[in-house]
Structure 1
Amino acid sequence: MKEAADAAENVTNSKPLEMVARAGFAVSGLLHLLIGVIAIRIAMGGKGQADVSGAVEELAKQPAGPLLLWTAFAACVALAIWQASDAIFDFEHLPTKKKVGKKLKAGLQAVVYSAFALTLAAVATGAGADQRESTSDFTVRLMKAPGGVALLVVIGAAIAVTGIVYGIRGIKKSFLKYLRTPSRPQARTALTVVGVVGYVAKGFALLLVGLLIIIATVTAHPEQSTGLDGSLKALRQQPMGPYLLAAVGAGLICYGIYMVVRARLAKM
């Protein structure tokens, strides 16, 4: 068993897999960039779905769309495998508390990139529209399940807390420790600015999603649980909403740029 585990660790830490996994960061960046563009379009009165599914569908409309989708799928699968390997094999030298935190974070990242890969594959195969379930429908089903209400509150709180963590990470610039920062001061400053703005914007968006899930659950109005797309569109209805939505969209574009740069500079 140990020999099999060692062999699996060697494969998942190989240079070829690392190169493809790095591209997964770029795919995440591209999707966030597209979500930001869609959000700005909505702020200006246009239409679109400002979430991962909407971004993937925008990608599919581009020239060589199927090739882009399958290439992005492969990159996300590779990064999911890399993160899963970290969750299973790495961080053993750390104290227990830090080790558990690092492994949990890597495991969650593996889930996120697996979800990206599934969305990309669904759209590439034409199954995206048939398999998509709205957040509201999911909330209705979960509310009816035993313990579903409590679970929804926990999910909403977890998403909201994640948003706060992202915001704090941006303000404290702690995301820089995951990068090999450029030596040139101008490049380092530019990377820091887009990282700060991007992390704060993504944190704000996640906080909105989490709060709407909690409110929808507590008030028994599942139609208010609308995911990222609905949260951003709800923001537009507030005073100064179009400007706030455009600012969040610009921030998500910054986060996308940061993730594309991370594909090159990340400490794997």
Structure 2
Amino acid sequence: MDSEKIRGSRWYHVLIGIGLVSYGLVHIVLAWLAGKVALGGGGDASSQGAMRQLAKQPLGAVLLWVMAIGLFSLVLWQVLVAIVGQESPDPKRRLARRASSIGRAIVYAALGVIAVRVAIGSGGSSSGSAEDTASSKLMHLPAGRFLVAAVGIAIVAVGVSQVVKGIRRKFIERDLDGSAPRPVGVLGSVGWIAKGIVLGGIGVLFLVAAITYDAKKAGGMDQALTALRDQPFGPVLLFAVAAGLAAFGVYCFFWARHPKY
């Protein structure tokens, strides 16, 4: 079956819908975990932590397998978009959109792998976060501090690009089919800005680790949210970020109903 038939098939649309709803659900749980961090509570405010929370619910394992299938279908969707779905007279814009689709595919694939690992019971907590492990390995390579700094700069750049995406609202034209209610765009804007802030915080932690030559100071979302909470007016800011993540989750539910294939 060629790519056009795949993209036009009903089962493909259904799987994309399941994937986008799953993506939104992860962000809703992340928003709840971020709220707990704002109140001084514990818990793993990360994608893996969100998956573990879902696993604790009735039929949680079944839900995770359904989510994994949906998320992997999003990978296929974005790969197909990268290959045949970039219509623009500007070669630079086409290339940028292809790169964005590949980036999305990587994110969806990573979340799908986490869902499978948690579903089969191998996604439990470990002695250190994935970010700690990655930064430690990089730090021990030749020019390791510069590599960790480069990763931090790259993550900050992605975070800034997501904030800009939320402000410029170009995602509305790219992601939605045109029939979505106008408030959906507001939800998406708030959500992308919140996601960008969190990513920017993670990138800053990598930069701090590079400057201090201490890999333990690198961290993921959980550490970034905790660092934000510890700033002046931190809990208020963190509640705002949690609300933004929840807004993005709701946006994904509408996106699932009005996707641009």
TM-score normalized by structure 1? 0.89
1:238 alignment partner, SS class: coil
Alignment correspondent of 2:250: 257
Structure 1, 19-28 or 111-120: larger mean CA deviation: 19-28
Alignment correspondent of 1:4: none
Question: In 2, distance between residues paired with 1:133 and 1:85?
Answer: 36
Alignment correspondent of 1:199: 192
Are positions 1:72 and 2:54 aligned together? no
1:180 alignment partner, SS class: coil
8 Å contact kept, 1:40–1:245: yes
Are positions 1:140 and 2:133 aligned together? no
Q: How does 1:223-262 map to 2 (within 5 A)?
A: 223-262=216-255
1:45 alignment partner, SS class: coil
Alignment correspondent of 1:40: 35
Q: How does 1:15-34 map to 2 (within 5 A)?
A: 15=9, 16-34=11-29
Question: In 1, distance between residues paired with 2:177 and 2:39?
Answer: 37
Cα displacement (A) at 1:17: 1.7
8 Å contact kept, 1:12–1:85: no
Alignment correspondent of 1:3: none
Structure 1, 119-128 or 216-225: larger mean CA deviation: 216-225
2:115 corresponds, among 105, 120, 123, to 120
1:105 corresponds, among 100, 105, 127, to 100
Alignment correspondent of 1:157: 153
* Cα offsets for 1:141-190 (capped at 9, x unmatched): 1111234433322221121111111111212222211213447xxx41x2
Are positions 1:9 and 2:6 aligned together? no
TM-score normalized by structure 2? 0.91
8 Å contact kept, 2:65–2:119: yes
Name the % identity.
Answer: 33
Gaps of 5+ in 2: none
Cα displacement (A) at 1:91: 2.5
1:47 alignment partner, SS class: coil
* Cα offsets for 1:9-49 (capped at 9, x unmatched): 24642422232023211111110111011110121122211
8 Å contact kept, 2:148–2:209: no
Question: In 1, distance between residues paired with 2:75 and 2:115?
Answer: 14
Question: In 1, distance between residues paired with 2:185 and 2:28?
Answer: 17
* Cα offsets for 1:174-221 (capped at 9, x unmatched): 2211213447xxx41x22322222111111111111111112112212
Structure 1, 48-57 or 142-151: larger mean CA deviation: 142-151
CA RMSD of aligned residues (A): 2.0
Question: In 1, distance between residues paired with 2:227 and 2:218?
Answer: 11
